[in-house]
Amino acid sequence: MANKPTRDVIGIIFKNFMKSRKPSRWLEPADKEAFDQELTAEWEAWLRGRREEPPTREELVKNLQIMDMKKRNAAELEATYAKGKDDKALPKQVDGPTIGTFPKYKEYEFIPGKEPPEK
């Protein structure tokens, strides 16, 4: 005889509570010794219960292709706009007031606990 669903409210609430307490999703890694394997965002969302259905192979392939396209586009932009740029050059220090900096006054400390320099 098949199990009949319970009709009492307390039984339904208890069953739903018990189902919510037991996670029914887990991960079996391909390489059981490698603990530093990267999880895709789709699988992580499914494991944490943020999405109902696990990701399909087509969805994973599509998102991987989009990610590769973005990496190629970023590399192209970097190659295009980084040609005249010298990475080793430091920005020049500007003396005096500049936009976005605080004013410097002789009577205030520059380094906490030390006297201001005399000029």
Look at 8-12, 27-31, 92-96, 114-118 and tell me which has the smallest mean pLDDT. Answer: 92-96
Q: The tokens of 73 are what?
A: 């586009």
Query: Does residue 73 or residue 33 have the better pLDDT?
Result: 73
Mean pLDDT of the chain: 79
Task: Give tens-digit pLDDT for 53-105.
Answer: 999 999 999 999 999 999 999 999 988 887 666 656 656 655 555 556 677 77
pLDDT at 21: 76
The one-letter amino acid code at 7 reads R
Task: Yes or no: say if 55 and 46 are a contact pair by the CB < 8 Å rule.
Answer: yes
- 32 pLDDT band, cuts 50/70/90, is confident
Is residue 1 predicted with pLDDT exceeding 90?
A: no
Q: The tokens of 88 are what?
A: 């080793």
Q: The tokens of 30 are what?
A: 């391909």
Measured between alpha carbons, how far is 119 from 114 in angstroms, rounded to an integer? 15
Task: Show me where the domains of the chain are located.
Answer: 53-80
Task: Yes or no: say if 25 and 49 are a contact pair by the CB < 8 Å rule.
Answer: yes
Helix (H) or strand (E) holding 83: none
pLDDT at 57: 94
